[in-house]
Amino acid sequence: MIDPAILTADLIRCASVTPQEGGALQLLERLLTAHGFQCTRVDRGEVSNLFARWGKGKTFGFNGHTDVVPVGDLKAWSVDPFGAESRDGFLYGRGATDMKSGVAAFAAAAIDFVKESPPDGSVVLAITGDEEGPAKDGTVALLDWMQAQGERMDHCLVGEPTCPDVMGDMIKIGRRGSMNGYFTVTGVQGHAAYPHRANNPLPAMARLIDQLSTASLDAGTEHFDASTLAVVTMDTGNPATNVIPAQCRATVNIRFNDAHSGASLTNWLQEHADKVAKAFDVRIDLDVVISGESFITPPGELSDLVAHAVQVETNRTPVLSTSGGTSDARFVQHHCPVVEFGLVGKTMHQVDERVEIAQIHQLKSIYTRILRDYFA
């Protein structure tokens, strides 16, 4: 039997800050190979990725990541971020929650399941070393390779931490889309004492940002909350109080539901920018980066399978949700039906990130039951 808490600790000791592999995927490759999985490294660019398959036929897949966000202020930590220290029933370290425990739990569940009750089918693990960073050469690279090789998953579970408060309270069946809009307003620089000889870009930017931030994008849809727009930067870089600047910049982040697409919201941003540019006689440039479209895996066979396993193992009926940020499920959804379930994510990305050790074992039990029921 593979102890998922011990495996989590071993993974935490691998300093795999994006895009560094840190030994985490090497550790998993050795472990999985030793237990009969066929493993292939699918590295692309600076990113390390691992594909592992056991068996043939009907395939259930797990997806996750071993990379972690930076430690931040090391002095603020009470433990070594990569020391995997156990204290009062908790395991501490960067990635303890997000999401080395999830990877350890599904790897342990998969290894023990195929050994104890070999299914008439296949289990796939698709694990990336870049989910926290640009995510262009991580799960996307794995899926590109799978398509080129004729590899496939019929259903997939992403092991991200999904529970906000207690183990078993939430399954993610979709995610909002996410995009950033970068505005640059260009006017004419001048002396602050002679504003008529300049064209100050700041009032134009203020008008534009006010209009965008007070607009209502929608009231929500069947499975999604209302879309949101947040102003995240406004900058001029002008330290002189007697100079009207030539330019200023601002950035907005939009989290959007299935009433919109990245393209439709880009058009909406451009329309607002064009109107303000005309009204203030300035130039407004807009650059947009869409990190993912919204998606939904409608409630049904896959969510029922996972919800049943969660209910049996935790005695809780999970809420089916589309809340939160983005995840690699936004890429997997183009390949096969996908949902997300993992442990409680309260401390992810925080100083003294930690996971309750009992939850790691519970998560392995849930993943094991999902596999048993799937291949029953």
d(CA 246, CA 238) in angstroms, rounded, equals 9
Total H helices, total E strands in the chain: 9, 19
pLDDT at 276: 98
CB 52 within 8 A of CB 66: no
d(CA 160, CA 65) in angstroms, rounded, equals 9
b or e along 4-43 (b: 16 or more beta carbons within 10 Å of the residue's beta carbon)? bbebbbbbbbbbbbbbbbbebbebbbebbeebebebeebe
pLDDT at 325: 84
Please identify every residue annotated as catalytic.
Answer: 67, 131
| Maximum C-alpha span of the chain | 82
pTM: 0.90
Q: What is the pLDDT along the chain (376 residues), one digit of tens a residue?
A: 999 999 999 999 999 999 999 999 999 999 999 999 999 999 999 999 999 999 999 999 999 999 999 999 999 999 999 999 999 999 999 999 999 999 999 999 999 999 999 999 999 999 999 998 888 999 999 999 999 999 999 999 999 999 999 999 999 999 999 999 999 999 999 999 999 999 999 999 999 999 999 999 999 999 999 999 999 999 999 999 999 999 999 999 999 999 999 999 999 999 999 999 999 999 999 999 998 899 999 999 999 999 999 999 999 999 999 998 889 999 999 999 999 999 999 999 999 999 999 999 999 999 999 999 999 9
d(CA 84, CA 354) in angstroms, rounded, equals 9
Pairing of strands 59-65, 155-158: parallel
> Cβ neighbours of residue 257 under 8 Å, at least 6 residues apart?
176, 177, 218, 220, 221, 224, 225, 226, 227, 294, 322
Cα 227 off chain centre by: 18
pLDDT at 134: 86
- How is residue 19 annotated by DSSP? T
d(CA 35, CA 115) in angstroms, rounded, equals 8
Q: Kindly report the backbone phi and psi dihedral angles of residue 375, in degrees, each rounded to the nearest multiple of 5, phi listed first.
A: -100, 10
pLDDT at 139: 97
pLDDT at 133: 87
DSSP code per residue over 297-313:
--SSHHHHHHHHHHHHH
d(CA 212, CA 217) in angstroms, rounded, equals 9
The full set of domains in the chain, from first to last, is 4-175+294-374 (3.40.630.10), 177-292 (3.30.70.360)
d(CA 221, CA 258) in angstroms, rounded, equals 7
